[in-house]
Structure 1
Amino acid sequence: MTRNKLELHQGDITKLKVDAIVNAANNELRPGGGVCGAIHKAAGPELAEACRALGGCPTGEARITPGFALPAWHVIHTVGPVWQGGDNGEEAALENCYRNSLRLAAEKGLQSIAFPAISTGVYGFPADRAAEIAVSSVQEEVGQARPNRIVFCVFDDESAEAYRKLLS
C-alpha cells in the first residue's frame, strides 16, 4: 500500500466529506459522549433510530448506517475495547475494530473512510499505542483494495503527534 492513501486530520470528524466516518461506539450503539455523542448530534435523531434497529454490536465488530445529516454518506459503528492494563486482549480487539470497519467499507464499495482515535477517550487506551495499532492494522488490511483514502481524524494534540510520527 502506498502511504499517500493515509492522511492525518486534526479537527472535527463530523465535518469530513468522506464516504464513511467511523463512530467509536458503545455496545448498545446508543448516543454517548465524546466522538460518539458528537456524531449522533451532527447526524440527527435518525441515526439513533437506525442504530436501535441494528440491535447492538460486540466489541471489535462493525455495523453500518446511513450518515443522515452528516456530510459523510455512512457511519460505520465499531466498539473499541476498554483498557484494562493490556493483558485482556485489548490490542487484538482494537485491531479488529479497524480491520472490520475497513472490510465493511470495502464490501459496500466505499472509496474513503475516516477513523477517530478509537478507545482513547473514556475507554482509556494509551493514545500512542492505539495510534500504532490503528496505522499498522490499516496498512496490513488495505493493500491495494478499497477504500483508497483513509483519514485518521484526531482532536487533541497528543494523538495528532502520535499519528504524525507514524505517518511521516
Structure 2
Amino acid sequence: MTKKRQNILVALLVIYSIAIIYFMFFGFGRPNIHNNIHGYRFSIIPTGIPLWFPKTLSFLWIFSLGNLLGFVPFGILIPMIFDIKYHKFIFIFAISIFSLEILQMVTYLGSFDTTDIIINSIGATIGFLSYKIGNSFKLASQKIIGTVVLILSFSFIMITFAEIFNKFI
C-alpha cells in the first residue's frame, strides 16, 4: 500500500471515529437529556439481541440497526490500514467500546449497555470478515462488490439469528 493511500485511510478512520463518538455522546439530544438524569444508567445483563426485521419503520429499529451497521466500517478500515489478526482486532475494539460505554454513563450522556457492546462488536466483526473474504477476490470491482454483498448477507443472517434467538429466551 502506498503511503498516500495509507494516509487517506487513516484520515477516514479518524473522521469516522469522531463521527461515531459525536453520535454516542452528543447525537439524539443527549446533552438535553443529561439535565434530567439523576444517577448512573446501566444494563449489565443482556436480555436478548436487539435486532429484528421491522414490521414498520420506527426510530428504535433504525437505532438498533445503526448499532450494528454503524460499526462495520471499523472492521473494514482497521484491517486495511494495519495487518491485524481477528482476535487482536476484536479485543482492542471491545475494550474501546467498553471504555466509551463507561464514559457515556459517567458523563450522563448515555448509559452503559452490554447489549450495545455485543451488537457493536458483531457489526465490526461483519465488517472484518466481509473485508477479509471480499479482499480475496482478484479484481478491484469484485473486491468491492463482494465486500458489500457479504456485509448485506452477514447482516441478514445476524438479524435472522437474533429473531430466532430472541423467541427462545
User: Which of the five TM-score ranges fits, normalised by the shorter chain?
Assistant: 0.3 to 0.5
Higher helix share: 2
- Structure showing the higher strand proportion among its residues: 1
Max Rg structure: 2
What TM-score does the superposition give when structure 2 sets the normalisation length? Answer: 0.32
Normalising by the residue count of structure 1, what TM-score does the alignment of the two structures yield?
A: 0.32
